[in-house]
């Protein structure tokens, strides 16, 4: 199979972690007899520096012409970077929002898995961790506050900011269907998270999710208010299978879930549209403070590449080879600084990528 992939290295640690993900992909497709074609695309601060905008129309068209997009992280230090002296629509993150909207990437999948080997890095008590947890957070990605009308103006002599949270029933229905479909391949549980005791948008969300649930009689549905869900994630994370929620709630909850896995450096992400096309990226930021120091954990990006093989190309065996290699590296005690624990061996970004690539070769050869 020929895999045409647009690659966005991004800013900060982005180029380093993307380099390692490409290394692992190259080894995997070589072992399984596929062909990879990469096309680099600028976005974020790198695009601002080169083109004056965080994402050009030409970059969007290039991405649309490929099968998938593999991305690092974008942005910089908001306190010191000149990118954040620009108007909001010209800052790095505006490029990501524009790309999501332009590609119709409405469904964001963020798995949060606690590996047994990383229990020591998990901030929760052992009695809470239990046998670990494996959840998938399904976040609606192109609606809600992040895309609603916004303005800042003077009202009665006071500066007043307004952000509008808007969802229609079709936007809710399509993300709900994706959540139930994925739950059907997992443990058949969907927890829909909203704020229906306060927000009209959440009351509509709950109504439409319940309508969709009628088409999935074998899937158990429960509703949970977002504040309770935030508490339950640290009280009993093992109760969750698929968490379905809107854009801003999903943004917050997925970062919380990532930290109870031991490190946000372990959390991969996929953003899908109505076809097989997807954008695959780590859930963490660009960490400019460690950029270029060979300290970043590339595993989230590598696991995102595995998700790309599975969800866009239907290459389940190849994706599993990468996931097994990551598991083996952890089992043998190799750690980057963010997940380091006593008795393990600390390695840098490049070495972690080398080790995972080596285990893929060994695993396929057995």
Residue 319 in this model has a pLDDT that exceeds 90: yes
- Which residue from 73, 6, 79 is spatially nearest to 37, judged by alpha carbons? 6
Mean pLDDT of 25-45: 96
**Residue in 67, 194, 241, 251 annotated catalytic:** 251
- Cβ of 40: how many Cβ atoms within 10 Å? 11
Residue 339 in this model has a pLDDT that exceeds 50: yes
276 annotated active-site? no
pLDDT of residue 365: 47
**Residue in 84, 181, 189, 255 annotated catalytic:** 255
Q: What is the pLDDT of residues 90-99, one digit of tens each?
A: 999 999 989 9
| CA distances to 24, 51, 294 from 313, in Å | 16, 32, 31
How far, in whole angstroms, is CA 162 from its chain's centroid?
Answer: 28
pLDDT confidence bin for 43, thresholds 50/70/90: very high
125 annotated active-site? no
pTM here is: 0.85
* 20/25 Cα distance (integer angstroms): 9
Dump the DSSP string for 281-347: --SS---GGGTTTT----HHHHHHHHHHHHHTT--HHHHHHHHHHHHHHHHTTEE-GGG--TTSEE-
* 312/56 Cα distance (integer angstroms): 24
Q: Pinpoint the alpha helices (H) of the chain.
A: 14-32, 45-51, 57-64, 92-102, 126-129, 169-184, 200-213, 226-235, 247-260, 299-311, 316-331, 349-365
214 annotated active-site? no
Q: Do domains 1-106+268-366 and 123-260 have the same CATH topology?
A: yes
Q: Which residues of 168-192 are buried (b: 16+ CB within 10 A; e: fewer)?
A: eeebbebbbebbbebbeeeeebbbb
Instruction: Give 78-84 contacts, CB < 8 A, sequence gap 24+.
Output: 81/45, 81/288, 83/45, 83/48
* 59/310 Cα distance (integer angstroms): 25
Mean pLDDT of 344-359: 97
167 annotated active-site? no
**Domain residue ranges in the chain:** 1-106+268-366, 123-260
Q: What is the pLDDT of residues 102-158, one digit of tens each?
A: 999 999 999 998 888 888 778 888 888 887 889 999 999 989 999 899 999 999 999
**Residue in 146, 167, 216, 280 annotated catalytic:** 146
**Residue in 11, 195, 216, 338 annotated catalytic:** 195
Residue 228 in this model has a pLDDT that exceeds 90: yes
195 annotated active-site? yes
Q: Which residue has the higher pLDDT, 342 or 56?
A: 56
Residue 366 in this model has a pLDDT that exceeds 70: no
Q: Which residues of 234-264 are buried (b: 16+ CB within 10 A; e: fewer)?
A: eeebeebbbbbbbbbbbbebbbbbbbbbbbb
CATH of 123-260, one of 1.10.3720.10, 3.40.718.10, 3.90.1150.10, 3.40.120.10: 3.40.718.10
pLDDT of residue 364: 60
Least confident of 19-28, 218-227, 257-266, 318-327: 257-266
- Percent of the residues in the chain that have a pLDDT greater than 90, as a whole number: 83
* 25/172 Cα distance (integer angstroms): 34
**Residue in 163, 227, 274, 314 annotated catalytic:** 227
- Which residue from 148, 141, 173 is spatially nearest to 246, judged by alpha carbons? 141
What CATH number labels 1-106+268-366? 3.40.718.10
Mean pLDDT of 38-60: 97
Residue 262 in this model has a pLDDT that exceeds 80: no
Q: What is the pLDDT of residues 247-261, one digit of tens each?
A: 999 999 988 888 888
* 21/9 Cα distance (integer angstroms): 11
How big is the CA angle at 244 (ends 247 and 174), to the nearest 5 degrees? 80
Q: What is the pLDDT of residues 320-334, one digit of tens each?
A: 999 999 999 999 999
Q: What is the pLDDT of residues 271-280, one digit of tens each?
A: 999 888 999 9
Average pLDDT, the chain: 94
């Amino acid at each position: 199979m020929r895999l045409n992939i647009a690659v966005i290295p991004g800013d900060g640690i982005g180029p380093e972690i993307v380099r390692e993900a490409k290394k692992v992909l190259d080894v995997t497709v070589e072992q399984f007899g596929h062909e990879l074609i990469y096309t680099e695309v600028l976005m974020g601060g790198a695009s601002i520096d080169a083109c004056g905008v965080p994402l050009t129309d030409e970059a969007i068209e290039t991405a649309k012409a490929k099968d998938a997009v593999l991305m690092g992280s974008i942005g910089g230090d908001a306190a010191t970077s000149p990118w954040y002296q620009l108007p909001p629509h010209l800052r790095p993150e505006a490029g990501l929002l524009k790309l999501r909207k332009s590609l119709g990437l409405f469904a964001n999948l963020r798995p949060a898995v606690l590996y047994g080997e990383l229990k020591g890095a998990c901030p929760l008590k052992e009695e809470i961790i239990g046998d670990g947890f494996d959840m998938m957070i399904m976040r609606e990605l192109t609606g809600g506050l992040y895309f609603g009308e916004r303005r800042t103006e003077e009202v009665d002599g006071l500066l007043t900011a307004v952000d509008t949270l808007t969802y229609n029933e079709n936007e809710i229905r399509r993300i709900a269907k994706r959540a139930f479909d994925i739950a059907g391949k997992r443990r058949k549980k969907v927890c829909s998270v909203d704020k229906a005791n306060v927000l009209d948008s959440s009351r509509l969300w709950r109504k439409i999710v319940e309508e969709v649930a009628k088409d999935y009689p074998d899937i158990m549905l429960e509703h949970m208010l977002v504040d309770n869900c935030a508490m339950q994630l640290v009280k009993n994370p093992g109760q969750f299978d698929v968490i379905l929620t809107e854009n801003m709630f999903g943004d917050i909850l997925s970062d919380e879930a990532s930290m109870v896995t031991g490190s946000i450096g372990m959390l991969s992400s996929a953003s899908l549209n109505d076809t097989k096309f997807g954008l695959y990226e780590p859930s963490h930021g660009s960490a400019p403070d460690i950029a270029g120091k060979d300290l970043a954990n590339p595993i989230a990006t590598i696991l995102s590449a595995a998700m790309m093989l599975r969800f866009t190309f239907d290459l389940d065996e190849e994706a599993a080879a990468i996931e097994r290699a990551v598991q083996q590296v952890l089992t043998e005690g190799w750690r980057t600084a963010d997940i380091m624990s006593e008795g393990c061996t600390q390695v840098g970004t490049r070495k972690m990528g080398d080790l995972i690539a080596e285990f893929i070769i060994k695993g396929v050869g057995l």
